[in-house]
Chain A
């Protein structure tokens, strides 16, 4: 979508065709983002809908200098966080455990998994773990930023991330019947 400034301007004027064009261009990618944060498809659809409404209502605020997709993605992610915070999904779960070391065996297994399988695994995490994992591992937020966003302590963010990784590994073991010790 090389002509996105024109489309954005048309969207701001309320041109429904332009809005649909913009939506069609980004929706499938943003839906995948929503699915990573949501408990199920219905919740993901809600997030996507609310997020795009915000996008359309706030398009005037975009100044064409940054990444437009990044701008949309931030709104979608923040919408997901807002929804979960509203639903009381996001609450501090502080696990007193150390941060695990890198586990190379699982890296190969994860590399072989399809994106959809990986998405399902992440969806199985509890909202708190899933959110921290998404924000850190995929969106690239730091623990400091995550603790600010989620109103948790930095140590909690780290331990949640650690726990999320452990659970993912357990799920890989269980779901894909992998005996890592035998590798």
Chain B
């Protein structure tokens, strides 16, 4: 060892640097997950044993534990001297699973002032050996050369190094498996030429659902009626959204997510009186057409046009127009008319394809994320419903609704690990439709929703 090495060693061997608290939180979380997993396994085994006891008299049921594939390794560390500053250890690794033995010599450092060097034995359980793939050696050499060039000493240029690091991460794939000792895995690795462990937990799939508070924002009007006019006559409705998603951990804290969601939005149109014309049901069927009227209801999202046996009037304004020739004179005191106390609800259903970026603000037992992204919303249903006495009747559609709308999504959320791979997710999210919902309306109306998405996500 050169003098330079000794100086460096003396300066750094006992160096202590304060550790950020987040590391301990991460350790706690992983230990909790491991404990949960073990508990789950215990219950599973108990259930298996119970089943075995019940039917064991007739059927021998062998519960096939995963542990049968566990490979045990044993390390025996034998120190040759007790008082040398550096001692040789003989490490014998016997991999029973693979029926192979390998012996190599390792030097272990005397890191403590106290020399406690005796025999030490380590028994290790191996699980889930990483899947390996080959990387061309030429590629590695090239990457190494580039790294040195792009990683200059000048601190300002560190970002360049980070860029390269990202490139390396993209080319690499790994998150270490925590269930085996690296020493033992090293032997496994040495026996497999060039190897890169397969990525773990880079991908995740999940499902989410949320009730939505749905309404619209009127940006401008060109028909002489302002937003306040419509806000007084219309109200938000409670809808829903749900779907499946797939996400990819692009960076340590950044996740890209897409998926398919089925989203329902809408609003209610209030102060519209709806009456059943009892004559319609009383006259022979061939005459009923005479009691069908064509209506048009003006609203902030677009005109609703429909044909119906019901009679519509506007109780507060002049939004309802009867377009039929046989305009009916409504006398609410006439017993042929029955007030339904109904409400009119516009409803638009979209297939939503979002591209969401999720950034992990807090990486602890419960992760806290902020999310943002864009969605393409493809109109799949356009309905207007009449609701009364538990009845939901489709009476028409809103004219001029765009087939594709784009929305911006922002929100934040928390992820709580149920198991090592399964997370529970809670995400309050706000979505705002970037373009007007209707193409041929005088009103520039942008729907928006607020939802509390809950779901699970399975990482692999």
Contacts and interface: CB of A to CB of B under 8 A. Distances in A.
Interface in A133-182: 136-142, 144-145, 148-149, 151, 165, 167-168, 170-171, 174-175
B197 A70 contact: no
A163 B293 CA distance: 90
B144 A66 contact: no
A38 to B, nearest CB: 11
B111 interface: yes
Most buried by B among A35, A39, A121: A39
Contact of B108 (A27, A70, A119): A70
Contact of A57 (B5, B23, B34, B77): B34
Contact of B17 (A31, A68, A93): A31
Nearest to B34: A57
Given A53-B30, A89-B172, A113-B11, A140 B109 contact: yes
B267 to A, nearest CB: 46
A24 to B, nearest CB: 8
Given A74-B108, A151-B189, A57 B178 contact: yes
B97 to A, nearest CB: 17
B60 interface: no
B12 interface: yes
A151 B19 contact: no
Contacts, number: 251
A3 interface: no
B182 A165 contact: no
Interface stretch (B99-107, B210-218, B256-264, B377-385): B99-107
A147 B383 CA distance: 70
B181 A78 contact: yes
Interface in B6-42: 7-9, 11-20, 22-24, 26-28, 30-31, 34-35
Contacts of A62: 120, 122
B143 A115 contact: no
Given A32-B15, A32-B17, A86-B174, A93 B145 contact: yes
A70 B4 contact: no
Nearest to A31: B19
A83 B8 contact: no
Contacts of A145: 104-107
Nearest to A14: B35
B114 interface: yes
A93 B174 CA distance: 21
Give the secondary structure class of A's interface. helix
A96 interface: no
A67 to B, nearest CB: 5
B1 interface: yes
Contact of A107 (B4, B34, B106, B147): B4
B151 interface: yes
Contacts of B190: 148, 151
Contacts of B147: 126-127
B27 A52 contact: yes
A82 B185 contact: yes
A140 B86 contact: yes
Contacts of B193: 151
A174 B172 contact: no
Nearest to A42: B252
Given A67-B111, A87-B174, A32 B27 contact: no
Given A88-B168, A142-B107, A118 B178 contact: no
Nearest to A148: B104
B153 A124 contact: yes
Contacts of A92: 137, 140-141
A107 B19 contact: no
B3 A104 contact: yes
Contacts of B121: 61, 63
B171 A50 contact: no
A81 interface: yes
Nearest to B173: A86
B9 A61 contact: no
A60 B123 CA distance: 8
B14 A70 contact: no
A102 B8 contact: no
B141 A93 contact: yes
B116 A65 contact: yes
Most buried by B among A81, A122, A140, A145: A140
Interface of A: 14, 16, 19-20, 23, 27-29, 31-32, 35-36, 39-40, 42, 45-46, 48-50, 52-54, 56-58, 60-63, 65-71, 73-75, 78-79, 81-83, 85-89, 91-94, 102-104, 106-107, 110-111, 113, 115, 118-119, 121-122, 124, 126-129, 136-142, 144-145, 148-149, 151, 165, 167-168, 170-171, 174-175
13 contacts: A27-B23, A28-B16, A31-B16, A49-B26, A53-B30, A66-B116, A67-B115, A67-B116, A71-B120, A81-B182, A86-B196, A138-B5, A151-B193
Given A52-B27, A91-B140, 9 more contacts: A63-B120, A85-B195, A86-B176, A110-B11, A118-B8, A118-B11, A137-B8, A138-B8, A167-B148
Rank and list the top 8 A-B pairs by shortest CB-CB distance, nearest first: A86-B174, A91-B140, A78-B182, A137-B5, A66-B120, A65-B118, A88-B172, A28-B16
